[in-house]
Copies of this chain bind each other. A is one copy, B any other.
């Protein structure tokens, strides 16, 4: 471990080289021109060097090729690669889908050394699948089971009796709670927490919040009470091919388990409360919050910062635009937006109308104008 006063001189790890023909094969696409060209990575057309594969999958990106130095590029179906000054090319029909295969091919993957780092603390009753790679300072509790070829980065903790499936990839600092069960090919970004205790409290008598819910904002005499904890006896069950983002949190259930269906993808800083059930193939963008006991169907897509009320059901194939706040159940297939969320077309009409509302109001009710400033001093 060198101590060096000029710290910016170490050469980076040498990247792998890929032949154009091999990349095309992985993409199920057509390679043209000199398919023996080797590249070490992909780049945008303008910033591509001679060792890069330029990505210019739409005609709009083509002009950047002249500025950059790529010898080969991925182009849209039917592009004239010679006219673009290239020596070789890969032609693709659905660019974004091609990106999935292309980036997988070129991804060097995380640098988790094979084998079990000697500093890891693994309970003797835990079982570790063959081929698993376990990094420094990992802690694995009693009865835990780690699948074949799982890759577990530094500082991960996996609590008692948790099960992590084959080919899992747990990045640094991920927390897997006791008795959590996770299917194959799970990916967790750094700092994600699966199996924290649910947030469930009760007052000895009815609380003000309970009354307000029941009576839509009305309530009787407020009594001073403290919160008593409801412990979480359930766990979290996660299907196959799920991915969760950095610092995302998924709470355990109270009696039954919180469930995340196969192939769900959760972005960073997402909150999934206790007892929630997500169907399959759901996509939850950054900072989405799902309150306790809500259920989502299959293929639900929630834009960033959406919120879902507790105990409601969101049907299959619902799509919610960014920052939608969903208070009530939503039928299958609906596209929604807004706070509170309504049909997207309705919300767009409402938003247009809102821009015109102040002028309309003044036209209809000019006397009120002078009063309106005081309306703003408090939520009343």
Q: In the complex, which residues of chain B have a beta carbon less than 8 angstroms from the beta carbon of A358?
A: 346, 349-350, 352-353
Minimum C-beta distance from A275 to chain B (A):
10
Binary per-residue interface labels of chain A (41-85) against chain B in the complex, 1 for a CB within 8 Å, 0 otherwise: 111100100000001000000000000000000000000000000
Given the known A-B contacts A10-B145, A143-B13, A246-B251, are A1 and B97 also in contact in the complex, defined by CB atoms under 8 Å? no
Does A342 count as interface, using CB distance less than 8 angstroms?
Answer: yes
Interface residues of A in 244-274 (CB under 8 A from B): 245-247, 249, 251, 254-256, 263, 265, 267-269, 271, 273
A-side interface size class: 35 or more
Q: Please, which residue of chain B has its CB at the minimum distance from the CB of A298? A: B224
Whether the pair A97, B202 counts as a contact (CB closer than 8 A) is: yes
Q: In the complex, which residues of chain B have a beta carbon less than 8 angstroms from the beta carbon of A330?
A: 378-379
A114 to B291, CA, bound (A): 35
The one of B97, B212, B301, B304 in contact with A319, judged by C-beta atoms closer than 8 angstroms, is: B212
Interface residues of A in 173-207 (CB under 8 A from B): 173, 175, 177-179, 187, 189-191, 193, 196-197, 199-205, 207
The one of B122, B202, B255 in contact with A55, judged by C-beta atoms closer than 8 angstroms, is: B255
Given the known A-B contacts A110-B178, A328-B377, A376-B352, are A97 and B204 also in contact in the complex, defined by CB atoms under 8 Å? yes
Q: In the complex, which residues of chain B have a beta carbon less than 8 angstroms from the beta carbon of A135?
A: 139
Minimum C-beta distance from A314 to chain B (A):
10
Q: In the complex, which residues of chain B have a beta carbon less than 8 angstroms from the beta carbon of A227?
A: 263, 265, 281, 283
A372 to B352, CA, bound (A): 6
Whether the pair A345, B145 counts as a contact (CB closer than 8 A) is: no
Interface residues of A in 227-250 (CB under 8 A from B): 227-233, 241, 243, 245-247, 249
Interface residues of A in 303-355 (CB under 8 A from B): 304-305, 307, 309, 316-317, 319, 321-323, 325-331, 333-346, 348-355
Q: In the complex, which residues of chain B have a beta carbon less than 8 angstroms from the beta carbon of A5?
A: 129-130, 148
Minimum C-beta distance from A115 to chain B (A):
10
Q: In the complex, which residues of chain B have a beta carbon less than 8 angstroms from the beta carbon of A1?
A: 116, 122-124, 126, 128
Whether the pair A268, B265 counts as a contact (CB closer than 8 A) is: no
Whether the pair A145, B7 counts as a contact (CB closer than 8 A) is: yes
Does A361 count as interface, using CB distance less than 8 angstroms?
Answer: yes
Q: In the complex, which residues of chain B have a beta carbon less than 8 angstroms from the beta carbon of A333?
A: 208, 222
Whether the pair B269, A271 counts as a contact (CB closer than 8 A) is: yes
The one of B175, B179, B265, B365 in contact with A191, judged by C-beta atoms closer than 8 angstroms, is: B175
Minimum C-beta distance from A44 to chain B (A):
5
Whether the pair A356, B361 counts as a contact (CB closer than 8 A) is: yes
Q: In the complex, which residues of chain B have a beta carbon less than 8 angstroms from the beta carbon of A321?
A: 212
A376 to B327, CA, bound (A): 9
Minimum C-beta distance from A372 to chain B (A):
4
Minimum C-beta distance from A291 to chain B (A):
5
A-B contact pairs, 28 of them (CB 8 A): A1-B122, A2-B128, A7-B145, A12-B161, A42-B233, A94-B205, A100-B201, A103-B230, A103-B231, A121-B154, A173-B173, A173-B191, A191-B191, A193-B246, A216-B345, A218-B335, A226-B241, A227-B263, A227-B281, A229-B243, A267-B271, A273-B286, A305-B325, A328-B376, A352-B376, A353-B357, A353-B361, A356-B372
A7-B129, A159-B172, A330-B379 known; 5 new pairs, CB 8 Å cut-off, are A10-B143, A43-B255, A100-B201, A224-B281, A273-B286
